[in-house]
Structure 1
Amino acid sequence: MNLEDKIRVIEDFPKEGISFKDITTLLQDKEALKYTIDEFVKYLKDKEIDVVVGPEARGFLFGVPVAYALEAGFVPVRKKGKLPYETISAKYDLEYGSDELEIHSDAIKPGQRVAVIDDLLATGGTIDSVTKLVEQAGGKVAAVGFVIELTDLNGREKLLNYDIKSLVKYNI
């Protein structure tokens, strides 16, 4: 299946010059959604994954069904202040300023093999922070998967030490 055909592209959103890749059309298509989850599961099935980690919010959409299919746990990564228990955090830079992500301090056990799943790899700042959180908690990042990769933004360069799979690649 060509997933690119299932992703709506909206020009000049959220601002002029941006070509937004809208995955809601992929999520609405039952065959495309099943195919996407199945592709991640095929990629991860021999990697002995204990836990799937997904950053909010769209990482949740793909990470939970992948975790279920792998019979693994799921750990949400949230923005600072959104989790109710003790957390560990990692900061990352944005175009203008910075942000901070957190996981529960007991979410990943030392030595657990972790897959990180998200919808989009752009500049790599968010996922770089997520991998740092996993490692800070004592986990080993065994794989990183994305529905979409925007290759011109070179996010993969921040993740050179990881096994990465992107289902769709765009030159923007």
Structure 2
Amino acid sequence: MSSAAVKTYNLRRVIVGLVSGVGTAIMFSGCSATNFQNSKLTWETYHNFRYGFEFPYPSNWTALTAPDNNDGVTFVAPQNQNVEISAWAGNQLPESITQDIKTVKTIDENFQTAQGVSGLLVVEVGKEVSSMKLTITQGQLKYYWQGKSNSQEFRYYYRLFYHIAQQYKIR
């Protein structure tokens, strides 16, 4: 491995560690005692037939207009249009990039869905907007799932977002 590749690898490990640490801190310090799973929340499942992925979402959330190419969807919370859950899939990657990803893939995986699919889960805490984003690469496709809200309320949605990311499936 070249010196530049080692530096890139080490930088990725530091970034993933910091992001994971921030996410864990938010989860333990910011989540309220009320657990969404104990509430009377009912679920629907979004199915994307073009790319073959699915995930659960609260049944009272509203879907925004889907893009014409059917590559994904965005749902918004009923009481706060700034809280969103989005999922989409990317275009096929060129074969040369796919082979490079296979070499680097284990570096970028820090999360596993309940289905057993590995991916990269990143929590970004910003001044105004915070998000949780799951990226999965399989073959020549990239799958993305994201939950986001304004930063002041993110702690209330963290567990919900994490639960949905865990339930994300690829058919």
> Normalising by structure 2, what TM-score?
0.26
Name which one, 1 or 2, has greater alpha-carbon Rg. Answer: 2
| Higher relative contact order (CA closer than 8 Å, sequence separation 6+) | 2
